[in-house]
Amino acid sequence: MTNTTTPAPDPSTGARIGPNAITRVAEILAAVEGTRACDEIFAQAGLANYLTTPPSFMLPEHHVTALHAALHAKLGPPRARVILWLAGRRTGEYLLAHRIPRAAQTLLRLLLTPLNTRLLCALILRNGWTFAGSGQLRITHAGGTVISIAANPLAAGTDAPGCVYFAATFETLFAALAHPGAHVVEHACAARGAEACEFELRLPARVPWLNVSSLIQSAKQKEALLF
C-alpha cells in the first residue's frame, strides 16, 4: 500500500489553479452553448477579460469557483455537469498534447497495469499544485486506486459541485496512458457530506499482462480525442 500527500498550500500567498480550469471551460461552453451564453456566464463571474485574453498563468482559485457558480446559475446543474465533464476531457487532452513528454507517454502505455497506473498517479500527485488549489491531494492504492481531494475548492461550500471536471481529466489521462478501458468515478463528495472528494479508478476485470494491444488502442483513442 502506498499513501502519498501534497504539502498544504501557503495561505499567505493565496491558492491558485492552472488556467486550463478557465480556458477549457470557455472553449467547450462556446462550442456547446454558443458564444452569447459563454459571454454572459463569464461576465456574471466577472471574468469577461479572460475571453478576450485567455490566461496562460496560474489563476486565483476564487476565479475558478466564481465561474463554476455562474455556470450552474445560468445552465442548471445537469447542463453545467456536461460542460464541466467535456472541459475536463479537454484538459486531459491538452495535458497529453502539451505537458506530458512523448517518451513518458510511450513508456506508460507499454508498462504493465497496474505499474503504469502507479507511475501516472505519481505524476498526478507531483503536479497536484497546478490544479487542486487549496485542496489537499492524496492517493491511496489499498483495494484499488483512489485519488482524494480534501477541502476540494470545486466542492467546498456549494451544493452544486464541479468535481466532474476532475473526474473527466483523470479518466482521460488513465484511459490514454494506462488502460483504454479505464474509468474514473467520484464515489464520495465533500459537497454531499464526505470528508473528501474521492475519485476511484476502475479498470476492466481482466487487463492484459502485456500492453502492446493497449498501446495501439490508446493511440487510436488519442487521435479521436484530439479533435
Binding interface with Zn ion (CB under 5 A)? 155, 161, 163, 189, 197
Collapsed DSSP state (helix, strand, coil) of residue 184: strand
Supply the DSSP symbol for 138: E
Q: How far is the CB of 174 from Zn ion (least distance, A)?
A: 18
Q: How far is the CB of 188 from Zn ion (least distance, A)?
A: 8
End-to-end CA gap in the chain: 38
d(CA 189, CA 186): 7
Alpha-carbon torsion (153, 154, 155, 157), positive or negative = positive
Opening angle at CA 181, ends 227 and 119, nearest 5? 90
The three cell numbers locating residue 139: 492517493
Q: How far is the CB of 197 from Zn ion (least distance, A)?
A: 3
Q: How far is the CB of 186 from Zn ion (least distance, A)?
A: 6
**What's the residue count for the chain?**
227
Between 161 and 180, CB nearer to Zn ion:
161
Between 62 and 109, CB nearer to Zn ion:
62
Between 168 and 189, CB nearer to Zn ion:
189
Between 133 and 161, CB nearer to Zn ion:
161
